[in-house]
Amino acid sequence: MTINANAKGFSGRCLCGAVTFESSASPQVVVHCCCKDCRKSSGTGHCTHIVIPKSAFVVTGDVTFYEHRADSGNTISKGFCGTCGSPIYSTTSGYPDAVFPRASVLDDPEMVQPQMVVYASRAVSWDKLDETLPAFAEGAGG
């Protein structure tokens, strides 16, 4: 994964506005994930993650975290607004220098364009994603 810290940036916030974030870097990659954990934490068939350098990410407000071990063996830490429950971002021990904000809470969700689907083998039949995107049965590596 290549991370370019020389970029435009973006911002987002939870439903109630108690948690906000800013990135001084543009998305490095945008990924739809269909794994069970993402389905359960998003309340739908997948979630869309943005990958940025951790050093470019600033969060304001109180974030509540839930940690668990993923199928990959990595420890995933998911950050939610403690007031409204909106998922804000996650981190993983597999990529310690990266942060994965959720596209669903962007101030301008149209600024991202998903580039791939991971854990496509776990996708549910009723959640139709863009079939032209590269799809990986499991993760995309790393």
Question: At 88, phi and psi to the nearest 5?
Answer: -105, -55
Would you say residue 5 lies in a domain?
Answer: no
Mean pLDDT by 10 residues, the chain (142 residues): 55 98 95 91 93 97 94 90 96 94 96 93 93 88 49
Domains contained in the chain, number: 1
Residue 130 falls inside a structural domain: no
- Kindly report the pTM of this predicted structure: 0.87
3-class DSSP state of 38: helix
Boundaries of domain holding 115: 10-122
Residue tagged 């409204």 (tokens): 84
pLDDT of residue 79: 97
CATH of the domain at 53: 2.170.150.70
Parallel, antiparallel, or unpaired: how do β-strands 75-81 and 63-69 relate? antiparallel
- Which residues have a Cβ under 8 Å from the Cβ of 90 and sit 6 or more positions away? 49, 76, 77, 78, 79, 99, 100, 102
| The predicted structure's pLDDT at residue 141 | 56
8 Å CB contact between 97 and 91: no
Asked, for residue 27, whether it belongs to a domain, the answer is yes
